[in-house]
Structure 1
Amino acid sequence: MYVIRERFFAIGDDFDVLDEHGTKVLHVDGKVFSPRGRLVIEDPASGDEVASVHRHLVALRPTYEIRIGGEKAAEVRKKLFTPFREKFTIDVPGPDDLEMKGNLLDHEYVIEQDGREVAQVSKRWLTIRDTYAVEVASGVEPLLIIASALALDLALDRTGDD
């Protein structure tokens, strides 16, 4: 399980992602005042960039690109037609796309791949205000899931500003 502080994008500060033992596993540099709503995920020991998330400026719907190790790993985008609830797709190279569904605004959702749950995001697991937990199934790349959750947070924060 990983712990992320919620809604950090509103003020653009830096923060850490912790594992279940409270150990800092990632540092996130929120560069939200850039025109692309970019953030950089760094290795806390070396300070090296391990991943980034940025908004596509020209897109039909909210779209965020995730780069891991300098390579495009996925695009997170809102589905166009989803009556009654918002859904986002994590479009990865090849046929193994993922889908975020549930109560996205309240950080109570699951991420599925081919109908199988591969991650859960929840505020209910924690009593600390303004934080949420990300539980990732074994065999799934945690960095992709964490970056996708951050991309969703960027998209929802941006929607709230419009």
Structure 2
Amino acid sequence: MKFYIREKIFSIGDKFTIKDASGDDVFNVEGKIFSMGNKLKIYDMSSNEIVYIEQKLFKLLPEYSIYLNGTYAAKVKKEFTFFNNRFDIDSNMGNYEIEGDFLAHDFSIMKNGSTVAEINKKWVAWGDTYEIEINEQENYAFILALVIVIDQVLHDNKNKNNS
């Protein structure tokens, strides 16, 4: 299944709309304003909270926890490397890895050694857009949460370096 995440750049706090291949809204993502660390929620179109993402504070490298339907699902931690971005994912949903060219925003999510999602960033004016192709057997909300965490880590690092 193909999804598109487009960041709304003229909004207070993080806001994303997730659409399907037909252009229909499927999920909304909203960040909590004025909070310590990033806190994001993914809602279905009936405004039911599906995923909660929380940045852990006071860590040397960025670390996020993902909760799916109120239950802990994963911890995503950026690993220390000199030349590329690497993430450690500790999940009760399977053994996940992320690999690819993060600078070009083209990467894959692997589960137990098999590719379960392909992510490609589209360069368009007025915001970042990601095209995500997810295998039918996967939990779409969980995979989309992983993509959002990666975007948060890369986006936050870019902003800190530009300040």
TM-score, normalised via structure 2 length:
0.85
The residue type equivalent to 2:27 in the other structure is L
Which of these residues, 127, 130, 133, is aligned with residue 131 of structure 2?
Answer: 133
Distance in 2 separating the partners of 1:10 and 1:23: 21
1:90 matched residue in structure 2: 89
Distance across 2 between alignment mates of 1:22 and 1:14: 17
Residue 43 of structure 1 and its aligned partner are, at CA, apart by 1.4
Paired residue for 1:35?
36
Partner residue of 1:117?
A: 115
* Structure 1 equivalent of residue 49 of structure 2: 49
SS in 1 for 2:158: helix
Is the partner of 1:123 in helix, strand or coil? strand
Match of 2:74 in 1: 74
Runs of 4+ in 1 over 3 A off after TM superposition: 6-11
Distance 2:51 2:134 in 1: 17
Deviation at 1:99, TM superposition (A): 1.1
Q: Is 2:102 the counterpart of 1:101? A: no
User: Are residues 106 and 73 of structure 1, via their aligned partners in 2, closer, same or farther at CA, if it must alter by over 3 Å?
Assistant: same
Unpaired runs of 5+ residues, structure 2, are: none
SS at match of 1:15: strand
**Structure 2 residue matching 1:143: 3-state secondary structure:** helix
* Secondary structure of 2:107 counterpart: strand
Question: How far apart are the structure 1 equivalents of 2:10 and 2:44?
Answer: 20
Unmatched tracts of structure 1, length 5 or more: none
C-alpha displacement of 1:61 = 2.1
C-alpha distance in structure 1 between counterparts of 2:110 and 2:50, whole Å: 24
Q: How many residues align?
A: 157
Structure 1 residues 118 and 21: CA distance shift in structure 2, 3 A: same
Identity of aligned residues (%): 33
Q: Give me the TM-score of the superposition, normalised by structure 1.
A: 0.85
2:92 alignment partner AA: P
